[in-house]
Amino acid sequence: MATVAVSMAGLLSLSACGGGSDKTESGGQAAAKKVEVFSWWTGPGEADGLKAMEAIFAKQYPQFSFFDAAVAGGSGDQARALLSSKLQANQPPDTFQGHAGAELQGYIKGGKLESLNFLYDELKLKSVFPQQLIDQISVQGQVYSVPVNIHRSNILWFNPSVLKTAGISAAPKTVDEFIADLDKVKKAGKIPISIGSQWTLVHLLESTLLGSLGTDAYNALWTANADWSSADVTKALTNFKTILSYAGTPQEDWQPAAKQVADGEAAFNIMGDWAYGYFHNPPDGGLGKASKTDFDWAPSPGTDGTYLWLSDSFTLPKGAPNRDGAIAWLKVAASKEGQDAFNPKKGSIPARKDADKSLYTDYLAWDLDQWSTDKLAGSIQHGVVANDAWRTAINDAVGLFQQDQDVAKFQTALADAAKNSGQ
């Protein structure tokens, strides 16, 4: 596995060099020097936001050319594994997307990133991002990345017509109501809840834990006093098992699972709000669907009033081949213009506090409002509360549970994962 990853990294950097940056064009004029931007935003919905920011970068920095080193796969499970082998081999891209929180803290503590205090001072960024976000990307007073957005994980997407056919008049508010509704949909002959690849189950698990345990108990799971062996966790995992028993055939990734809702094949899908970009963006990248008619949303059951958050941020790896180009990219990612181009397409809200609110309409207006009033809880799958080793162990436990459906074994595996995380 490691060998494959390293050789893929080699290939990637070779093909990246093939993008040819320091060459001289026939006219003698130096070609723009490439900036390798590593992310996992390749699929429908995901790529639209990146393209919007790339357009601004191209306009503002013609001396650099954007090189898209994105690696396919929702939530970046493949990308994150490849990135880690590239960093180990001291072959960093010029900049990479990383999640604010425990995931980024791993890179910081591992000495992989340059401090960006110089950029924060130059652009006066400390006052434009929320303090709790700055804390998640800092160590000992040094800030190590530029957050470009805030995403919400705990959203229940649903198809209003399918709910109507099943006799459901409003989105379920509690986990118990949700389970009762799943059963109604099953009886109506539709897929009650659509799912994608394994990481989408970890995503479903985090909403189920939050909705079953409540915010304080969920947040306590990531502290030194965590009790993963409690009866309340057993109940939450039993709920997870029940919900999964209503799931359709696992789809390849989050997009085809979300599409089953948009197409009226499935009633519900629990997914982050990148799904909004996918549903809503015009058909060249998204599905061009109308909100409230073709799809609708509610906080995932039992989580109203809590924002299960995550944030994508860009970094400056030590040894970046084109450091100046990476800094130029970070300046665009940090800017109001960059964030206001990126986020409406990405289905996220800006990390900056001073963004142009009029650009965030429909779901995104609701989202902005919730972000400013809700309590906070951090995402598991998307890097906030658990470091990479812990998240991987949770992923493995979920994979085994999918096969054996043994709640007791699952709970022990999760308790062990917490004990051995080293966090």
Which residues of this protein are in contact with ligand GAL, per CB under 6 A?
A: 40-41, 46, 74-76, 99, 151, 254, 272, 274, 310, 312, 382
Angle between helices 102-109 and 388-404 (to 10 degrees): 130
Q: Which alpha helices (DSSP H) does 149-197 contain, by range?
A: 160-165, 175-187
Nearer residue to ligand GAL within complex by CB, 74 or 338: 74
Nearer residue to ligand GAL within complex by CB, 74 or 211: 74
Nearer residue to ligand GAL within complex by CB, 150 or 163: 150
Amino acid at 137: I
- CA distances from residue 161 to 165, 216, 264, 265 in whole angstroms, order as listed: 6, 35, 7, 10
CB-based contact 137:145 (threshold 8 Å): yes
Other residues' Cβ atoms within 10 Å of the Cβ of residue 277 = 25
Question: CA 129, CA 154: separation in Å to the nearest integer?
Answer: 22
Question: CA 302, CA 154: separation in Å to the nearest integer?
Answer: 10
Burial 62-89 (b: 16+ CB within 10 A, else e): eebbbbbbbbebbbbbebbbbbbbbbee
Nearer residue to ligand GAL within complex by CB, 156 or 166: 156
Question: CA 267, CA 288: separation in Å to the nearest integer?
Answer: 19
To ligand GAL, the closest distance from the beta carbon of 198 in angstroms equals 13
Please choose, from the candidates 244, 176, 173, 287, the residue with its C-alpha nearest in 3D space to the C-alpha of residue 407.
244
To ligand GAL, the closest distance from the beta carbon of 422 in angstroms equals 22
Nearer residue to ligand GAL within complex by CB, 103 or 181: 103
To ligand GAL, the closest distance from the beta carbon of 385 in angstroms equals 13
CB-based contact 101:385 (threshold 8 Å): yes
To ligand GAL, the closest distance from the beta carbon of 171 in angstroms equals 22
To ligand GAL, the closest distance from the beta carbon of 135 in angstroms equals 19
To ligand GAL, the closest distance from the beta carbon of 139 in angstroms equals 21
Question: CA 131, CA 108: separation in Å to the nearest integer?
Answer: 18
Nearer residue to ligand GAL within complex by CB, 64 or 314: 314
Nearer residue to ligand GAL within complex by CB, 254 or 276: 254
To ligand GAL, the closest distance from the beta carbon of 186 in angstroms equals 27
Nearer residue to ligand GAL within complex by CB, 75 or 322: 75
CB-nearest residue to ligand GAL:
74
Question: CA 70, CA 49: separation in Å to the nearest integer?
Answer: 13
Strand order of the β-sheet with 306-310 is 349-350, 149-152, 306-310, 375-378
φ and ψ at residue 134, rounded to 5 degrees = -55, -40
To ligand GAL, the closest distance from the beta carbon of 159 in angstroms equals 21
Nearer residue to ligand GAL within complex by CB, 310 or 364: 310
- DSSP-derived secondary structure letter, 30: B
Amino acid at 305: G
Question: CA 384, CA 388: separation in Å to the nearest integer?
Answer: 10
To ligand GAL, the closest distance from the beta carbon of 217 in angstroms equals 24
To ligand GAL, the closest distance from the beta carbon of 402 in angstroms equals 20
Report the C-alpha dihedral over residues 156, 160, 162, 167, rounded to 10 degrees: 100
To ligand GAL, the closest distance from the beta carbon of 222 in angstroms equals 18
Question: CA 231, CA 384: separation in Å to the nearest integer?
Answer: 25
Q: What 3-state DSSP class applies to 229? A: coil
Question: CA 257, CA 196: separation in Å to the nearest integer?
Answer: 5
